[in-house]
Chain A
């Protein structure tokens, strides 16, 4: 629990800095999923590892690929393409699992996200982040914190807590 508290302090800290603009901003790790670029707060990323398969868990939605062994920890793996209802594609060499730490159901959980490839690390100052647009049916709007542009591309910044919570709580 102590690490949980520490983590959330960290998270808070990062957000505040970005908001007053006293710091350069928040760092985001971005990744590609079906041609779109998404970003998550880099402080939430624990590690990135290659796809090594997962153990099927019955009676779970299709986007739950199963559970994997992360050095003795049982970690659920979520396929983001399926989660976002995007077209499926066989996994290849660039397919990675981003292991993130989230707050969910009042606890800290470690979860793996399967994405097509990792992309960049960007720093976005608070003022560079635009409010999320109406996303229509494709993506649950609540899971997008905002948009930021990096060069030519738009990066969708994910609210990882609510994304994971909605993925594993409403089964």
Chain B
């Protein structure tokens, strides 16, 4: 019977990816020199489960590599080596390599095998060094003494101790033993735990140094292992080697002067081919074995493995995102149906209408609760994004020779998975910018009297139905003058134009804008900030920048909690109802005729509002629908803002403010400028959701078009 293991691959890859994330995060938590047992156990467990999984699925490369890492981790765990920056580097790089290897298997991509082998070799070198430095036979037998002595009580003590049976093992590795990731030293160490062992190396096959290939194994070993043990235990040690070596295990010989009969009887329990056992010996056997079996799990439990793994397994389940979206959709429709019913009830009269109304009231509350909890299913803590930063900050600051400390707060703030996925790259850009441009070099900081290490603070919190993510650094801040100069140079602003700080800082979001004096491979090419802003705006959020020369800068990103629903203001124009996102509305006002300035021969209108001139967009004109009124003082003006730019949208009437479920127009139709989607109203009708930035640019391009047309007409007339 064969089971197609491929069906489990996807799960294995997913779990391994998560496991590697855990490993990386835990590694980064380790402060140099002091490794907490729990941390190293976590890392070890992760490596172990990847090894196990990849061996099961036949990804031998990964299994072998992970095995080497595991060996190194084991040395750390047993305290034989500490984690110095060197080991930390190796382990972090190993995480990368394992990621590479996994994705190479997953997507059938080519893999840089040389890099893998190189790293594996360096890890092995560390392992070998530590084994050499601390001669393993010394601590090992001491530590394992209780274990190996377990069977002893069954035998007469004097016979067992010095003159025990000795297994003779001939170990002739194949030349590829090392290349396959096996390490003889590790094997010997394992063996030495089983009992006292002596090793004799046969270096006859060793070629002259000039011809020596360090990847090949030329040595043979003869081992003698004391301690009555079952052959199985020996076989297990050699399991990993498989066919890569010629292993000959000879039955124990008793090298001490012994009486042939008596010890044989006691030793028969461990003899490779036990003769039919005498009853007493068989009865004695289970007793000593039991404590040994109990011992093993005990040491594991002490390592914190079992109690850790259990809760995380039982408190979450893996559900595909499609299933969740389907659920959210259905609930969204239920909400619409429910509000349709409520609206019908408003005009209903009858003997039972009061009860019905009560029932509907309950339904409405329950629906809201249901919708909220369903939405929460898609919510994940922002730590999923933040977690990548410790590593990034560490690598980048090392590379740039700066000292940077990363602080993170509010990691548990939750937001929609889709938002979460899309916010990662912008944040990476921002943090990278902060390290590269913001934080000064160590000397630079010393000169201005700041602590040598700069700080980058990632902060997330909820604020009024939005989530705010801040990237705060204590670096040099934005250079106002340089930005201004650069903007003048590029013709973004006039030579004598003066701008408010706000506007100046906003300039760095212009495409291709970079003030970096030299382009590094980290940043400075001028791609980035505009992409950052575009990504954030696509998510329905906005980004602000604050800066204080010499004290650092703060980038504040405001994001909606979810992309599935939106807080909207319903406005009516004639028979049509539109939804304006509340986040972009500044205020809605009734205006007087004298507040309006007509320019360009009455074709453009500006509203004077508190020292500001705001262009007026007559929505009925732009959308070509019939409105109740075309008189500006009869309707209402909803002032919206995007990118620091304001515009007044002229509508007939304000209706309710409500949360609406966002539906894409693109699914069955197409994307349209100025419209970000559609939603269903309580009466089942569709209302379009206005996209304020799109609307502004649409309005501007129309204005420009009209201007050009007029100029063309003028030229034509002339």
Contact = CB atoms under 8 A, between A and B. Distances in A.
B650 to A, nearest CB: 15
Contacts of B685: 53, 55, 69
A74 B332 contact: no
A96 interface: no
B411 to A, nearest CB: 35
B680 interface: yes
Contacts of B673: 59
Contacts of A110: 668
Nearest to A2: B322
A143 interface: no
B578 to A, nearest CB: 10
Contact of A74 (B625, B678, B684): B678
Interface string A62-86: 0000111101111110000000000
Contact of B678 (A67, A111, A169): A67
B532 interface: no
A54 B333 CA distance: 18
Nearest to A110: B668
Interface residues of A, number: 24
A58 B689 CA distance: 12
B624 interface: yes
Given A55-B678, A58-B622, A58-B624, A76 B669 contact: yes
Interface string B660-672: 0001110111101
Contacts of A67: 665, 669, 678, 686, 688
Contacts of A55: 576, 678, 685-688
B667 A73 contact: yes
A74 B667 contact: yes
A109 interface: yes
Contact of A57 (B329, B333, B667, B688): B688
Nearest to A71: B333
B649 to A, nearest CB: 13
A68 B668 contact: no
Nearest to B678: A74
Contacts of A69: 680, 684-686
B674 interface: yes
Given A56-B576, A58-B674, A74 B686 contact: yes
B258 to A, nearest CB: 74
Contacts of A163: none
Most buried by B among A55, A58, A59, A73: A58
A147 interface: no
Given A67-B665, A72-B680, A168 B670 contact: yes
Contacts of B667: 73-74, 109
A57 B672 contact: yes
B460 interface: no
B625 A73 contact: no
A71 B340 CA distance: 13
Interface string B639-672: 0000000000000000000000001110111101
A171 interface: yes
Contacts of B684: 69
B8 interface: no
B675 interface: yes
Contacts of A169: 670
Nearest to B687: A55
A110 to B, nearest CB: 5
B484 interface: no
Given A72-B680, A74-B664, A168 B687 contact: no
A72 B336 contact: yes
Given A58-B623, A69-B686, A109 B675 contact: no
Contacts of A75: 668-669
A34 B169 CA distance: 96
Contacts of A109: 667-669
Interface string B617-645: 00000111100000000000000000000
Interface of B: 329, 332-333, 336, 576, 622-625, 663-665, 667-670, 672-675, 678, 680, 684-688
The 3 closest A-B pairs by CB, nearest first: A58-B623, A72-B333, A55-B686
Given A67-B688, A73-B668, 15 more contacts: A53-B685, A57-B665, A57-B672, A59-B672, A60-B672, A67-B669, A69-B686, A72-B680, A74-B663, A74-B664, A74-B669, A74-B678, A75-B668, A109-B667, A169-B670
11 contacts: A53-B685, A55-B576, A56-B576, A56-B623, A57-B688, A69-B680, A69-B686, A74-B668, A168-B669, A169-B670, A171-B670
